[in-house]
Amino acid sequence: MDIFQQKLEAYLENIEEDVKKRTDFIREYIESAHAKGAVVGISGGIDSAVSAALCIKALGKENVLGIWMPAYSSPVHEKDAKALVEAINLKLVTVDVGPAFDAITKEMEKIEKLNDLAKGNTKARLRMTTLYGIAGQLGYLVSDTCNYSEIYVGYMTKGGDGLADFNPVSSLTKHQIRILAEYIGIPKQIITKAPSADLWAGQTDEQEMGFTYEDLDRYLLTGKGKPEVIEEIERLHRNSEHKRLLMPGI
């Protein structure tokens, strides 16, 4: 067994303690803010599934609201979001942000036509606007769902999924998230499908990043990897530093 697999095995051996640490964090943070609960944006993917499950374990199902926010989304993600409801007893509501996306895109394209990335980031920001609108009305806080792998290379939208009140999975790599997902009973099809932010048709995380999550996680957990991959990971890390910092001022 190589050192990468040893790191993953070590995480599995201590997973019960890790779940307690994360649920304690959620509960204590919500209580310290005098909030009533948490909202979680549900994408049909593994990170939001695990985040929602941890919130339910910490706060109880009655104090957690999942929000499915399609914007011409793939049917498979909607199917998996519904499967999550059954698996973890999640209260899930739907807010279709497609019409808002169409309207705001039409106005912005009066200035300049948007490429896929700009459109995808607009979807992410509309989703976060939705989460904060509902959370504010309910007296809840917004849970982020970005994992450590994504955060390290800046694979998140500033003002979108890179913005929230707290994050229960920010120190877990994608591979650790998969281990945790299986431990807490996330549906198999969510765990095994190709990770995607669902920002445009056919989009996948690994395709967009240019390397695999195994390449990324191996480097993050062991410091090892192909030199050209490490160089690209560190380039993305440097270029995305502004996403991990509070807004500077003078």
What gap in Å lies between CA 66 and CA 143, rounded to an integer? 10
Q: Does 125 appear as a known binding residue?
A: yes
Q: Does 43 appear as a known binding residue?
A: yes
Q: Does 242 appear as a known binding residue?
A: yes
Q: Does 174 appear as a known binding residue?
A: yes
E strand map for 32-115? 37-42, 64-68, 91-94
The 8-class DSSP code of residue 166 comes to B
Q: Does 202 appear as a known binding residue?
A: no
Q: Does 77 appear as a known binding residue?
A: no
What gap in Å lies between CA 235 and CA 232, rounded to an integer? 5
Q: Does 102 appear as a known binding residue?
A: no
What gap in Å lies between CA 202 and CA 224, rounded to an integer? 30
Q: Does 46 appear as a known binding residue?
A: yes
Q: Does 158 appear as a known binding residue?
A: yes
Q: Does 98 appear as a known binding residue?
A: no
98, 69 Cβ separation under 8 angstroms: no
Q: Does 48 appear as a known binding residue?
A: yes
Q: Does 143 appear as a known binding residue?
A: no
Q: Does 145 appear as a known binding residue?
A: yes
Q: Does 41 appear as a known binding residue?
A: yes
End-to-end CA distance of the chain: 51
What gap in Å lies between CA 127 and CA 144, rounded to an integer? 12
Q: Does 182 appear as a known binding residue?
A: no
Residue with tokens 């995607």: 196
Binding region for ATP: 41-48, 145, 174, 196
Binding region for Mg(2+): 47, 150
Binding region for deamido-NAD(+): 125, 158, 165, 242-243
Binding region: 41-48, 125, 145, 150, 158, 165, 174, 196, 242-243
